[in-house]
Structure 1
Amino acid sequence: MASTSDLQEQALTFYKNKSNALTPSQNTLSLITHDSSNFPSWLIAGILQQSVSTNNECFLSPNFPSINKESSPSYVYSFTNTIQTYNKYFLKYNIKNNKNLHFTSFINSDAPPLASWYTSIISEIKSNRNPVVIIENPELVLLLDPTVTINKLLSQIQEIQKHCALYIVSTTSTSSSFTSTYLPSILHRSSLIISLTALTTGRADDISGTLTISTGPIPNENQIESRQYSYLISNSAVKLYFK
């Protein structure tokens, strides 16, 4: 593999319609998977930045043309993280105090009751125009609430999807039996699949991992740009390069 010093930095895009680089259609489901060494906080921050912006701004696509667009109400619901996981990105890219950005952690003491997690999400988002919703590790509901089955969880996710453009974030590192059933089920309901993986040769100083974009089984009105990037995360920036 060539060193990143030999490569040209690239803008991240999910769709061939370049004016909507990271913006999914409403009522679609996109799946982001990652292994234990490649947590996608930087990717989620970039999606949120472009979603809440009014000019297509995104630090992962620094040279994208500026366009006038609506700021979409954007929500993160996490079963694994608090907002502190994202603060360095939110602060650096001036989106922490954006009125259209909302973060709820179900591991905080003031979180909504677990039994009503999905109804509380629907109640919060349903009156908004074109909301974008990111849910981290909803499969943990299966461990936290023994009354919830995989089919019930999938039905709850489907109900949320009816009100938004939905991203589900899941780890591929868990080896439990419910994950082996749940993850393929979510994948087969997705229009867009984004995977973050470690290098097959281990971690390198000039490459942090690989990001793969592929089309899911469910048709999408926006044509997806299937491709692979190598990415490098440093203290100063995140950079992407075509593989």
Structure 2
Amino acid sequence: MSQPNQDLTFYKDHTLISDKILKSNNSYLTTITYIQGTSPNWLINSLIENSLQGSALPINQELKTTPSRSNVIFISFLHNKEFYIRNLKKNGIDLTQNSNFIFIDYFTNLFSEKIKDSTNAINDTNKLFDDSKIPKNSIIFIESPEILLYSTNIISDDLLFNLIKLNKKTNQLFIISSKDEELIDYNVNEIDNPTFKITDFLTKLLFRSQLNISLLPLKTGRAKDITGSLTITKGCLPYNDKNLIVNEKEYVYNITKDSNIKIYFR
């Protein structure tokens, strides 16, 4: 594309995770949703970097480094820790040497060790989200918790209860979730149907958030110089700080063969 590359920001103060959030006594929720083919890993990597040290070089050149900015708790149902260790090395961060980063692996051995009976999973699920293990005032990322909805008998309200409980423990919670079209159907009403559970979960989640980030493929398919679009919108719940204003915008982005990220206004 001929237009200049843009720095990505979420707020009017030109930040991704504002200091106003980290210094707040309130709890805020951001959703990151995506469709197959528009993996948000590049964005998540930069948000981890921004949480730990203030910068986010692949997507924003203006943010300054702030050593030991925040503790990060990353809970994943989709990847193991090695996946993020490898990814963050590309951002110049060695997670194996960073005591502010705690990874909770719910991908490896989830259904052999953590959840013994998927048809009666509520107690084991509640244990997964035991907030006594979470240091206060951390930034928490939870990746693909919806896996529990189509793999066990828990319903969306069971999962939401645990997520909101964790949210109250921290200033900022990011929930990263797939919203593939084949899993979303507002006409299904059987409470045990996985499609209903996913649809109900995502709908209620969006109504509880302050900020929503959506990654989608182009309607015309992937172009040579565009991978997908990224939309930033206000959630249904407002921020308590009137000076914390969401910078609602739509971008297109391209991930090159050498993993460089180019972002443009749409």
Q: Same fold (TM over 0.5)?
A: yes
Of 182, 194, 208, the match for 1:189: 208
Matched, 1:159 2:160: no
State the aligned residue count: 231
Runs of 5+ consecutive residues of structure 2 not aligned to the other structure: 116-123, 184-194
| Mean Cα deviation higher: 189-198 or 58-67 | 58-67
Pair 1:69–1:216, CA change in 2 (3 A): farther
Of 169, 178, 181, the match for 1:171: 178
Residue matched to 2:265: 242
Pair 1:50–1:65, CA change in 2 (3 A): closer
Cα displacement string for residues 46-101 of structure 1 (whole angstroms, at most 9, x for unaligned residues): 00101100xx2112444215264752111211112223443443111122232212
TM-score (normalised: structure 1): 0.87
Root-mean-square deviation (CA, aligned residues, Å) is 2.1
Residue matched to 1:117: 128
Query: Structure 2 matches for 1:188-227, cutoff 5 A?
Result: 188-220=207-239, 221=241, 222-227=244-249
C-alpha distance in 2 between matches for 1:65 and 1:117: 34
> Secondary structure of the residue that 2:201 maps to in structure 1?
helix
Pair 1:65–1:52, CA change in 2 (3 A): closer
Does structure 1 retain, via aligned residues, the 8 Å contact 2:77–2:143?
yes
Pair 1:61–1:37, CA change in 2 (3 A): closer
Does structure 1 retain, via aligned residues, the 8 Å contact 2:8–2:60?
no
- Give the share of equivalent positions with the same residue, in percent: 28
Matched, 1:80 2:65: no
TM-score (normalised: structure 2): 0.80
Highest CA radius of gyration, 1 or 2? 2
Query: Structure 2 matches for 1:47-62, cutoff 5 A?
Result: 47-53=47-53, 56-62=54-60
C-alpha distance in 2 between matches for 1:109 and 1:178: 23
Does structure 2 retain, via aligned residues, the 8 Å contact 1:106–1:112?
no
Runs of 5+ consecutive residues of structure 1 not aligned to the other structure: none
| Letter matched to residue 51 of structure 1 | S
C-alpha distance in 2 between matches for 1:149 and 1:109: 22
Does structure 1 retain, via aligned residues, the 8 Å contact 2:58–2:91?
no
